[in-house]
Amino acid sequence: MRFLLLSALLLIASPLHAAERLNVVASFSILADFVRNVGGDRINLTTLVGADSDVHVYTPAPGDAKRIAEARLVIVNGLGLEGWLPRLLQSSGSKAQLVTASAGVAPLKLGSTADPHAWQSVPNARIYVTDIANALAAASPDDAEAFRAQTKTYLDKLDTLDREVREAMAKIPPERRRVISTHDAFGYFTAEYGIRFIAPLGVSTETEPSARDVAAIIGQIKAQKIPAVFLENISDDRLIRRIAAETGAKVGGTLISDGLTGEKGPAPTYIDMVRHNIKALTSALDH
Ligand SMILES: [Zn+2]
């Protein structure tokens, strides 16, 4: 009897009906891919900033407030990436739990600004995924075991990926481990894997570089004989093409920085993204 009563109480207290799937919103495509790998088909997942879009300067769509209002969990990167989010959260009147996926990461600073691109290190991606898994399991205990199993499978894939990056980067001669990218999105990649990135734009794409910034980069490319410049899938490529033309550095291809591509593109998942980037870097630098 006591057991029955307890079960009944638990049923009433449980915010989810057993048959109902957990509603989760992820702020942008890379986080959404992590969440999908943990939650699989046991969750309803909505992504706010979709493929090939710039999360730094997003303008919320009309339906976003409603999506957030219906969510149990809203998963964000944090570290200042989603400057547009606090207002959207407030206007939605959402009671969702906010999960900051980068909370367990040691942040890099550029001056007084935190660098938000922590996912560009695979060990950091591991931390993101583990924290997302814990949040999902706490919100939907009935699914916790399935989430744990799916997470383990995915973390094993990330470990393999991390080894691939290290092996690929080790093949690039040390003096060639320098490239130009559009904005400063690869600080964590540099810290983890030792390829130096120099960018005319800072850690956000919100501001335009000054003529002086561009001139400084051009001087640096010539002085240090930087072999390659890279485009980004989320940014306008005119600036980088101009820098390439003025310096003679070759355009090494496109790096995927802050957003996955669509299904038909080269990087519909995080793992595809990292593999695409190491291939672009090694084919431009590895000789
Ligand atoms: Zn960025």
Q: Using the predicted structure, report yes or no on whether residue 6 has a pLDDT greater than 60.
A: no
Query: Domain 165-285: which CATH class?
Result: alpha beta
CA of 73 to the centre of ligand 1 (A): 24
CA of 77 to the centre of ligand 1 (A): 12
CA of 30 to the centre of ligand 1 (A): 12
CATH superfamily of 18-164: Nitrogenase molybdenum iron protein domain (3.40.50.1980)
Q: Using the predicted structure, report yes or no on whether residue 16 has a pLDDT greater than 60.
A: no
Please answer whether residues 154 and 129 qualify as being in contact, where contact means their C-beta atoms are separated by less than 8 angstroms: yes
CA of 153 to the centre of ligand 1 (A): 28
Every domain of the chain and the residues it spans: 18-164, 165-285
CA of 208 to the centre of ligand 1 (A): 13
CA of 184 to the centre of ligand 1 (A): 7
Region 114-138: mean pLDDT is 98
Ion ligand 1, residue ranges at CB < 5 A: 185, 258
pLDDT band at residue 233 under the 50/70/90 scheme: confident
Q: Using the predicted structure, report yes or no on whether residue 248 has a pLDDT greater than 60.
A: yes
Q: Do domains 18-164 and 165-285 have the same CATH topology?
A: yes
Region 191-200: mean pLDDT is 92
Tell me the one-letter amino acid at 135: A
Q: Using the predicted structure, report yes or no on whether residue 202 has a pLDDT greater than 70.
A: yes
What is the per-residue pLDDT across 67-86, written as a single tens digit (0 to 9) for each? 999 999 999 999 999 999 99
Name, in order, each residue with C-beta under 8 angstroms of 273's C-beta and a sequence gap of 6 or more: 30, 256, 260, 267
| Stretch among 112-126, 139-153, 213-227 having the lowest mean pLDDT | 213-227
Q: Which of 5, 46, 2 is nearest to 27 (CA)?
A: 46
Q: Using the predicted structure, report yes or no on whether residue 18 has a pLDDT greater than 50.
A: no
Q: Which of 116, 215, 226 is nearest to 180 (CA)?
A: 226
Cα dihedral 241, 246, 251, 255 sign: negative
Region 47-71: mean pLDDT is 94
Please answer whether residues 178 and 199 qualify as being in contact, where contact means their C-beta atoms are separated by less than 8 angstroms: no
Task: Quote the percentage of the chain above a pLDDT of 70.
Answer: 93
- Residue 23, beta-bridge partner list: 44
CA of 234 to the centre of ligand 1 (A): 9
Please answer whether residues 186 and 257 qualify as being in contact, where contact means their C-beta atoms are separated by less than 8 angstroms: yes
